[in-house]
Amino acid sequence: MANNGKTYRGRFAPSPTGALHFGSLIAAVASYCQAKAHNGEWLLRIEDIDRPREVAGASDNIIHQLEVFGFCWDGPVSFQHERIAYYQAALEQLQEQQLIYPCICSRKDIAKVNPYGIYPGTCRNGLATTPPSTTSWRIRTESSNIVFIDHIQGGVNCRLDHEVGDFVLKRADGLFSYQLAVAVDDALQGITEVVRGYDLLDSTPRQIFIQQALGYSSPEYAHHPVAVNSSGEKLSKQTFAEAIQLQDAVQSIYKALTFLGQSPPPELQFESVERLWEWAIEHWQLSKIPTSESIETS
């Protein structure tokens, strides 16, 4: 059971790089139904940690799309750019624990040694030269094995040092990494279960590892299949996925529920958004979600 006696708390954490499209709607619907079916809370967190990638107006647009689609989140919307002090404190704690080290390697340097981008540990034992004013910071992954049960995909076992290598928590440009921000936020916001797309499954061992290093407990996890186009590409801004249309709320949520294996009755397509949500929450079953990595959508 995901809540271990605690109040269930889920979240949806979109990055404001564009409007929500069908692919992101699936994560919103899955996390929302799972939270509400547990009588739990569902938080909305805008992941605007990577400000240079942010698209002007995207946060407001996403919030408006979610409102029109009838999502009700608990508490105020949180924004990662307002939570920088938590990431800094986490980094300082890890520094005191001597779990992180400065690194001056570029992606190119790493690719020369390891075509898969696994960090070869060049800076792990100290820098040979005086470091430039800004460096990135990596966490040591020495012989760490992360094991967890994903509630959709089953058992996951990741030997981080072999499969990922020491990874970046703070970039040389001063930005905190997605991995650090999400690990800190999920723990400090008391999230009990993360429901999100399969594409993020390989980030999860890194996030659990950070949480363990900081002495936080980790949420449970469930990774649903992602929607791909006819070329097998994940629907995203990069693959020109169309934004969900405000006037198509019922149709789009219906389609997302179908994608998630919930088999909503066809007549619901002609009902109100409220009625559709009522049905979806009442009949929600995580076990009906297909266990594949991806599903093609038209």
Q: Smallest distance, Å, CB 200 to ligand GLU? A: 5
Nearer CB in complex with ligand GLU: 48/166: 48
Using CB under 6 A as the binding rule, whether residue 235 contacts ligand GLU is answered as no
Using CB under 6 A as the binding rule, whether residue 18 contacts ligand GLU is answered as no
Contact stretch for ligand GLU (CB under 6 A) within 10-18, 59-67, 151-159, 262-270: 10-18
Nearer CB in complex with ligand GLU: 83/196: 196
> Pairing mode, if any, of strands 136-139 and 167-170?
antiparallel
Quick one: which of 2, 9, 14, 59 contacts ligand GLU (CB under 6 A)?
A: 14
DSSP assignment of 153-164, as one string? Answer: TEEEEEEHHHHT
Secondary structure (3-state) at 193: strand
Nearer CB in complex with ligand GLU: 15/136: 15
Q: Measure Cα distances from 83 to 11, 47, 52, 87, 180 in Å.
A: 16, 10, 17, 7, 12
Q: Smallest distance, Å, CB 15 to ligand GLU? A: 4
Nearer CB in complex with ligand GLU: 103/146: 146
**Count residues contacting ligand GLU (CB under 6 A)?**
7
Read off the amino acid at residue 43: L
For tokens 């009588």, the residue is 39
Using CB under 6 A as the binding rule, whether residue 243 contacts ligand GLU is answered as no
d(CA 77, CA 12): 10
Using CB under 6 A as the binding rule, whether residue 182 contacts ligand GLU is answered as yes
What size, in residues, is the chain? 298
Interacting residues with ligand GLU between 47 and 106 (CB under 6 A): 47
Q: Measure Cα distances from 42 to 80, 135, 190, 282 in Å.
A: 17, 37, 11, 16
Nearer CB in complex with ligand GLU: 189/262: 189
Q: Is 219:129 a contact under the CB 8 Å cutoff?
A: no
Q: Minimal CA–CA distance to 187: which of 224, 213, 150?
A: 213
| Backbone angle region of 158, left / alpha / beta, with phi > 0 → left and psi within -120 to 50 → alpha | beta
Nearer CB in complex with ligand GLU: 13/110: 13
Interacting residues with ligand GLU between 184 and 213 (CB under 6 A): 196, 200
Nearer CB in complex with ligand GLU: 170/196: 196
Contact stretch for ligand GLU (CB under 6 A) within 8-16, 88-96, 118-126, 252-260: 8-16
The DSSP 8-state label assigned to residue 216 in this structure reads P
Q: Smallest distance, Å, CB 194 to ligand GLU? A: 6
Using CB under 6 A as the binding rule, whether residue 15 contacts ligand GLU is answered as yes
Residues 50-54: contacts with CB within 8 Å, 24+ apart? 50/15, 50/175, 50/178, 51/81, 51/175, 52/175, 53/15, 53/17, 54/15, 54/16, 54/17
Q: Smallest distance, Å, CB 46 to ligand GLU? A: 9
Nearer CB in complex with ligand GLU: 105/214: 214
Contact stretch for ligand GLU (CB under 6 A) within 13-21, 94-102, 244-252, 262-270: 13-21
Please list the alpha-helical segments (H only) found in 120-239.
160-163, 178-188, 204-213
Task: Give contact residues for ligand GLU (rule: CB under 6 A).
Answer: 13-15, 47, 182, 196, 200
